[in-house]
Amino acid sequence: MPTPQPVTLFTGQWADLPLEVVAQKAAAWGYDGLELACWGDHFDVARALAEPDYCRDRRALLERHGLGCWVVSNHLVGQAVCDHPIDERHRNILPARIWGDGDAEGVRSRAAAEMADTARAAARFGVDTVVGFTGSSIWITLAGFPPVPQEMVAAGYEDFARRWNPIIDVFDAEGVRFAHEVHPSEIAYDYWTTKAALEAIEHRPGFGLNFDPSHFIWQDLDPVGFLYDFADRIYHVDCKESVRHLDGRNGRLASHLGFGDLRRGWDFVSVGHGDVPWEHVFRMLRQIGYAGPISVEWEDSGMDREVGAPEALAYVRNLLFPPPATAFDAAFAAKG
């Protein structure tokens, strides 16, 4: 039975491969489409705007493999819009045209312009949603010491609104929505910071959320309740999984240890191998009326991606069962 909504593969973790190769693999595994990352050779914002045939050719490539695309994602450039400090971490992830000479405010300005251009490129490509990060000038204050004046926190949200409102103006003009991924190091990383971020931009509809529950788990947040409370802001869904290893030695903040290190208090695993209550998540998605793509974001340091990606697809499809046509107790009232 076909699923009611497309299941796609996010290409961010496959950007070392040409898009043609990723499309071949995804099609062979049975995916309906791809969530294209704006890095590698998968979707180039500058080329989409400069070359008349670029978007058409990207579509043709996907269609040759029977794949669609409903979303593009530009996490890496979006991260630099609000971040403080700007340093070698950003240089490692940004295109050279955005990094430039590395002057922090210049990087932020060029990143903001590129995110506005991403809305234009998305519209030209024929998609209505861009997923990404915002960055944050106040994530560095998370530990609370030295003591953080509330005025400093308020200024962080004001900085976010000042930098992102003009970007969302372009999204609105292009008929495209931005779906911010609630994630550590962003302006919205948990329940209350999501509320604060939405308030900072006055709940404008061009700015919504990409639901990725993997970071809810290690923060002890309820992803199902989050869906219910932010139902009108769920613009896209990524299926990414995490698992806790809090054994009295392994800390929640991961001790500066890399992914895959067994001394971490949590780690990413392939969908279906962790602590996300996926069946409850999918039932809630159905209840709130989410009908958009379900995108598998594969991350697992202990599993080969070519095993994880098709396995995750099968797991997700099994949860996309249709609702009943009638209430289960309707037959009780049947008259013989």
Greatest extent of the chain over all pairs of C-alpha atoms, in Å:
81
pLDDT at 325: 81
Say yes or no to pLDDT of 176 above 70: yes
What integer best gives the mean pLDDT of the chain? 96
pLDDT at 336: 57
50: its two tokens? 């400069």
> What integer is the mean pLDDT of 154-183?
98
3-state helix, strand, coil in the chain (%, to 5): 45, 15, 40
pLDDT at 324: 82
pLDDT at 2: 42
**Segments making up each domain of the chain, as ranges:** 7-73+117-132+157-322
Please state, in angstroms and as integers, the Cα–Cα distance from residue 298 to each residue in 11, 189, 208, 270, 306, following that order: 9, 20, 23, 6, 10
Beta carbons within 8 Å of 29's beta carbon, 6+ residues apart: 9, 309, 310, 313
Residue holding tokens 């299926």? 239
For domain 7-73+117-132+157-322, give the CATH number: 3.20.20.150
**Could you read off the pLDDT of 219-272 as tens digits, one per residue?**
999 999 999 999 999 999 999 999 999 999 999 999 999 999 999 999 999 999
Query: Which has more pLDDT, 325 or 308?
Result: 308
Please state, in angstroms and rounded to a whole number, the distance separating the CA atoms of residues 5 and 228: 20
pLDDT at 334: 61
Res. 30 pLDDT band, cuts 50 70 90: very high
Share of the chain above pLDDT 70, in %: 98
pLDDT at 1: 37
Q: What sign does the dihedral 318-320-323-325 (CA atoms) show?
A: negative
> What integer is the mean pLDDT of 163-183?
98
Say yes or no to pLDDT of 285 above 70: yes
From the list 237, 319, 221, 234, the residue with the least C-alpha distance to 275 is 221
> What integer is the mean pLDDT of 267-279?
98
Res. 57 pLDDT band, cuts 50 70 90: very high
Res. 199 pLDDT band, cuts 50 70 90: very high
**Could you read off the pLDDT of 72-108 as tens digits, one per residue?**
999 999 999 999 999 999 999 999 999 999 999 999 9
Res. 335 pLDDT band, cuts 50 70 90: low
Which amino acid, 54?
A: Y
Helix (H, G, I), strand (E, B) or coil at 324: coil
